[in-house]
Amino acid sequence: MAAKGWKEIPIGGTITEAGNAKEVKTGSWRVMRPIHDKNKCTSCMLCWLYCPDQAILQTQGHMDGINYDYCKGCGLCSSVCPAKAIEMKAETEFLE
């Protein structure tokens, strides 16, 4: 998404379209990456409930991984996981 100049931004930074947060891939802010271990996961869905960015993927009540486009790496999912199935790792470990 191209950055807007100040003359193009609505006065007061008003949000003029519903659902436009989807356009901003906040995952680019992340410094820590949650890694999901599906072998430990019991699909209790606590991570899904607590994730402030709705970045936990699920199908029919089963945890399906993490949407890294929107995950900011806050670590909340890892903190609440009773099965210790999400480990936080530094993004620097994934640099190529």
Collapsing DSSP states into helix, strand and coil, what is residue 34?
strand
User: Could you tell me the smallest distance in angstroms from the CB atom of residue 54 to ligand SF4?
Assistant: 8
Based on CB atoms, which residue is closest to ligand SF4, 9 or 89?
A: 89
Q: Catalog residues that contact ligand SF4 under the rule CB under 6 A.
A: 34, 36, 41-47, 51, 53, 55-56, 63, 66, 71-77, 81, 83, 85-86
Per DSSP, what are the bridge partners of residue 90?
A: 32
CB 51 to ligand SF4: min, Å? 3
DSSP structural state of residue 66? E
Choose between 28 and 36: whose C-beta lies nearer to ligand SF4: 36
Residue 13 CA, distance from chain mean position: 23
Report, in Å, the least distance between residue 60 CB and ligand SF4: 13
User: Three-state DSSP class for 94?
Assistant: helix
- Scanning the structure block, which residue is given the tokens 């931004």? 9
